[in-house]
Every structure is written in C-alpha cells, then in structure tokens.
Amino acid sequence: MILLIDIGNSRSKWVLTNEASGINWQASGQWSNQGFSEAHWLARFKAIKETVSQEFEAKVEAIAISCVANEDVWKLLQNYCEQVFEMLPILPQSSREYRSQQGGRLFNSYKVTEALGVDRWLAMIAGTELTTQAFAVIDAGTAITLDVIDSSGQHLGGHIIPGHRLMQSSLLGDTGRIAWSAQHNRDDQLDSEWLATNTQQAIEQGTLCASVAYLEHLIDKLCHQLQLDVVIVTGGDAEQLISLLNTGFKKYLKYQKDLVLQGLFYWFLDNLTKKTADKANS
C-alpha cells in the first residue's frame, strides 16, 4: 500500500492506495496537526498502520508527503515515519517540468523552481492529468491560491491571498480593540443574513464577503477574459465559498476534493517510473 499525506497549516489529510487503485482511494482520513506533538502524530500513524494490517492484510510500502512547513517539521515527520513504519517518507519538490501519464507536459514559471509551493505544483499536476485544455486551479484553504496553465502546459503564474479564517485571525490578533470587542459579544445572535450587529460576526461576515468577491472577480477574468473552460476548485473552504457564489459563477467550476493528494499520487508514479528507468540504465 502507498500512504499519501497532504499536510496543511492546520490539518492533515491522508489516503491509502496502490498502483492498481490509483486515485480511487482504498481508505482516507484527516486530523488536526496539534502543533505536531509526538504523542498525537504517533497515535495517528499507528492507527493508519493498524488499518492497513487489519483491513487489507498488508503493510505500507511507501510514504509520500506534501508539506510546505519548515525543515524542523519535516525532520519531525521523518522521525514519526521511522518510528511507526520503519521507513523514510518521500518529500516531493516543485520541478522545472512534469510529463503527464497521457504525454502532456506542465512547465513551471518560477525562475527558482523549488520556490513554488509544492502543494500548488501538485495541484497543477493533478489538473494536467484531468484535462488537456487550458485550466486554472483555485485552492481555498488557509490561504487562497490561484494558478493558471495555458493549453501548452505553461504555468502563467497566479495569486496568493489570505483565506477568510486567516483574515479573521489577523484582525483579532493585530488590532487590540477589535479583539477586545469580539470577546465581549461573541454570543450575540445575528439579526441579518449579512449585516452583523456585533464585532465577532462583523469579522466573520466581512471576511467571507471579501473571499467570495475575490473568487467572483477571478472567475470573471478567467472565464470571460481568458475564456477558460476549466476552473478546478479545491481546499478545505471550497465548498462553503462555492455555495455563497452567485449562480452564474458556479457553472464554470469543477470541484475536486483531494486535488493535492491526486497530484501527489501522479508525482509518485512519475518518480517511481524514473527510478525504474535509472536502475535499468545503470
């Protein structure tokens, strides 16, 4: 079995698969990162190992992890994998080029290729496997990211903005009076669907409106000006934000729940193929 893990800023998602199953996951789950505490992470990994052993009568043979955290966190993950699975995980990085299973190509636009967040690169890899047309990826998580790829596979660039929860924490953490006010009226009822009568709800409603307005602006540019037919949306906040869009914008979107994990699987296959070829040539 192959264990794939996508580590976000606040939570992690995992899936189990094999080459035959592909992106039709055999099992999946998620957990809160909880500061990467040893007891918490070892318990999660042990539970996955038990699932593989009991439900599939197999063992984890390879681990690939998408992680945008710092090197200290990566070292912790290596230690946890060694303790539980007795193997080191594979950590993908963004590269200059990716060749899809269908023969298509994806080209990185960054001069320093590794500087492009690996989660964004993996999401684009998955998009390259999903369509041969020009497409865009919107990942609505802690941050909202945009990446646009033309029909030749060239990454044209993108955006990164704070998601609405990150906007909320910024307001509550960096503006003392707003934080004080929010703490003193958080239990008030919301009297309007979109106009708040207390600070906590004013922050929540306002930041949601900002995220929705940004997405509608993006979709207008992507679909009307660039005339893209494929806009793939993923991320933990994607479903909530899509539900708040005007109906006219929703029709352009293709929601994919596990886009980064899908890209991680395809990256793993490509990496495995390259290793096999290298061995054959040595």
The DSSP line for 173-227 is HH-HHHHHHHHTSTTPPP-SSS--SSHHHHHHHHHHHHHHHHHHHHHHIIIIIS-
Residue 137 parent element (H or E): strand 135-140
Is 96 known as a binding-site position?
no
CA distance 270 to 18: 14
Which residue in the list 72, 119, 187, 278 is annotated as catalytic? 119
- Measured over the CA atoms of residue 194, residue 199, residue 203 and residue 204, the dihedral's sign is negative
Using alpha carbons, select from 241, 251, 230 the residue that is nearest to residue 127.
230
Is 117 known as a binding-site position?
yes
> Within a 10 A sphere around the Cβ of 213, how many other Cβ atoms?
11
CA distance 29 to 71: 25
Is 6 known as a binding-site position?
yes
Is 119 known as a binding-site position?
yes
Is 120 known as a binding-site position?
yes
Cβ neighbours of residue 60 closer than 8 Å, sequence gap 6 or more: 1, 2, 3, 16, 48, 49, 52, 85, 87
If you search the block for the tokens 């995220």, which residue do you land on? Answer: 211
Is 234 known as a binding-site position?
no
Is 142 known as a binding-site position?
yes
Is 139 known as a binding-site position?
yes
Is 118 known as a binding-site position?
yes
Is 60 known as a binding-site position?
no
Give catalytic status of residue 119 as yes or no. Answer: yes
Binding-site entries for ATP: 6-13, 142
Binding-site entries for K(+): 139
Binding-site entries: 6-13, 117-120, 139, 142, 199
Binding-site entries for substrate: 117-120, 199
Which residues are known to be catalytic? 119
